Amino acid sequence: MTIFEKIIARQIPAQIEYEDDRCLVIRDRDPQAPVHLLLIPKKVIPRLGEAAAGDEALLGHLLVVAGVMARQLGLAGGYRIVINHGPDAGETVPHLHVHLLAGRVLTWPPG
C-alpha cells in the first residue's frame, strides 16, 4: 500500500484541500513552490505510462480539478502541472499523481 493509498484511507493525516469520488487533493509535505498541491486519483494507477484507455475520463478529471483548484486559489498569474514517470523523472511514489505548482516564477527548463 502506497502512502497515497494510506492518505486516501485516512490512515495517515494530510492537509486535504478537495475531495470527490474520484480524487483527493492535498498540500505537498515538501513543497517546491508556495503553492504545491498533489491531485491523487483514488484508483491506483502506478504511473502515467501504465494508464489504460479506460482511464481517460479519470485523467481528464484530474486536469479539470487542477483548473478548479487554480481558480479557487486565485492563480491567475499562472501555474504548472507536472506528472513524473519513473525515478529518473523524480517519481518517488508509484501511484500516479499530478503536481500543481504556483506562487512564484517557475523557470524553464524545470530541473
What region, left, alpha or beta, does residue 80 occupy, with left being phi > 0 and alpha being psi -120 to 50 degrees? Answer: beta
Single out the catalytic residue among 36, 85, 95, 97.
Answer: 97
To the query of whether residue 97 is one of the catalytic residues in this protein, the response is: yes
Round to whole Å and give the CA distance between 54 and 43.
12
Cα 106 to chain centroid distance, Å, stands at 17
CB 40 within 8 A of CB 30: no
| Residues acting as catalytic residues | 97
